Amino acid sequence: MARTTLARANATIYAWSAWGAWSPCSRTCGGGVSVQERQCLPRAPARSRKRRKLSRSTELARRARSAVKPVADPDCPGLGRRYHECNTAPCPGPPRDPRAEQCAIYDRRPFRGHFYTWVPYVDGDSPCTLNCRPRGQQFYASLALVADGTPCTRPGFRAICVQGTLKDHSHSPDGKAIGHDRRAISCRTNG
């Protein structure tokens, strides 16, 4: 019994840090995404108050030296990242297709030894992959993930891509908080 109690007393306990600042918006207009992160950090086991005060500065220095990834840890319940839609006002000028703009970036890059003019190719099974087809050709290529904030390919569907995952924000009270991932929703063009 004493051995189990000792093991628990020396076990590392994890807790979330405070939320960091919101990142800059991924787009200047037309809907982008801002990200806020927090870290799952180890906390020292419970000790006497006097010892905790003495070791606090040492503990803070140790944490600063050991880079902890800002990812969710099973010992920290909840999310390590949260997202918010930003700069939702339409861009000035005629409406632009964000996927067409992203494909066009590859027009000046060689692909398998040739230069192509790329146009979007929508694949309902991969809504957050930038699939582009060379104009006049019968193939497409998956060139990258779409930029954060790129909307779902189905008209009127309130979901956007964030870090390669489709996120739904249609049920958010303000319509701007982003949360649910693709497991709960579908973005197929055929419904």
The pLDDT value recorded for residue 62 is: 45
Q: Coil, strand or helix: which one is 104?
A: helix
In this structure, the answer to whether residues 60 and 124 fall within a common structural domain is no
Bridge partners, residue 160, by sequence: 151, 167
In this structure, the answer to whether residues 20 and 70 fall within a common structural domain is yes
The segments of the chain whose pLDDT lies below 70 read: 1-11, 44-74, 153-157, 169-191
The pLDDT value recorded for residue 51 is: 47
The span from the CA of 154 to the CA of 191, in Å, is: 8
The pLDDT value recorded for residue 69 is: 41
Is 14 a member of any domain? Answer: yes
Is 32 a member of any domain? Answer: no
In this structure, the answer to whether residues 191 and 101 fall within a common structural domain is yes
The share of the chain scoring above pLDDT 70, in percent, equals 63
Is 33 a member of any domain? Answer: no
In this structure, the answer to whether residues 115 and 168 fall within a common structural domain is yes
In this structure, the answer to whether residues 189 and 102 fall within a common structural domain is yes
Picking from 178, 135, 151, the residue whose alpha carbon sits closest to that of residue 97 is 151
Range of the domain at 154: 97-191
- Among 81, 109, 144, residue at a domain's last position: 81
Is 112 a member of any domain? Answer: yes
pTM of the model: 0.60
In this structure, the answer to whether residues 103 and 147 fall within a common structural domain is yes
In this structure, the answer to whether residues 186 and 103 fall within a common structural domain is yes
In this structure, the answer to whether residues 67 and 147 fall within a common structural domain is no
Number of domains the chain is built from? 2
99 CB burial (10 A radius; 0-12, 13-18, 19+): buried
In this structure, the answer to whether residues 76 and 3 fall within a common structural domain is yes
Is 170 a member of any domain? Answer: yes
Is 159 a member of any domain? Answer: yes
